[in-house]
Structure 1
Amino acid sequence: MSQHPPCVMCSKFSIVGRSEEAAQGRGYCAGFDKVAAWDDQPCVLFLRARDEAPRRAFAEKHQQKEPA
């Protein structure tokens, strides 16, 4: 079974202007007009973002914050 990329890798996921939410690992999902966690499972609206490097960095930063 293949692993799907998390929400943060979707072009509809944004943290622009949402510093408080971003600090907690969340962003805004423009597809569903709601707040979403960086590691949520992708949905049917998933469209891979072109700017993968900053998204991977955001994910790694928040993955390290999670308790093991």
Structure 2
Amino acid sequence: MIFKIYYQETKIRNPKREQTHSLYLEAADEVVARELVEKNTPYNIEYIQVLEGNHLEYEKENADFKLTEF
């Protein structure tokens, strides 16, 4: 499954919507996706969204879609 992970670059500062970033990750489920990001980055995860069907196709066509690999 493909997940879109919304995150802040650090856990130290308070989250600000304007500083939210995202990355795309392929993982078996949401738990595995969260573990991969927490293990390999200092990011503060805000939200993990499953991408499938039309939503996935839209993201591939209209965003900076690049799968992150750890």
Q: TM-score, normalised by structure 2?
A: 0.29
Bigger relative contact order, structure 1 or 2 (CA pairs below 8 A, ≥6 apart): 2
| Greater Cα radius of gyration, structure 1 or 2 | 2
- Relative to total residues, which structure has the larger strand share, 1 or 2? 2
